[in-house]
Chain A
Amino acid sequence: MIQPVLKRTVEALMERGAIVRNLENLGERSLPYKISKHNERHRRGGYFLIDLEGPPSIVSTMMDHLGRDIDVIRRGFIKHPVSKTEECSGIIPVNYEEKLIVKRK
Chain B
Amino acid sequence: MENPYKDPPKKCVLCGINVDYKNVQLLSQFVSPHTGCIYGRHITGLCNKKQKEVTKAIKRAHVLGFMPVMFKNPSFLTDPKICNIKYPE
**A49→B22 CA distance, assembly (Å):** 10
Q: Does A58 contact B (CB under 8 A)?
A: no
Q: Does A8 contact B (CB under 8 A)?
A: no
Known: A91-B9, A91-B10, A91-B47. A32 touches B15 (CB 8 A): no
A88 near B15 with CB under 8 A, answer yes
List A38-53 residues whose CB lies under 8 Å from chain B: 45, 47, 49
Picked from A32, A73, A81, A86, the residue with its CB within 8 Å of the CB of B69 is A32
How many A-B contacts are there with CB distance less than 8 Å?
Answer: 47
Interface residue tally for chain A (C-beta within 8 Å):
21
**A85→B18 CA distance, assembly (Å):** 6
In the complex, chain B residues whose CB is within 8 Å of the CB of A74: 64-65
**A45→B47 CA distance, assembly (Å):** 35
Interface of A toward B, CB cutoff 8 Å: 26, 31-33, 35, 45, 47, 49, 73-74, 76, 78, 81, 83, 85-86, 88-92
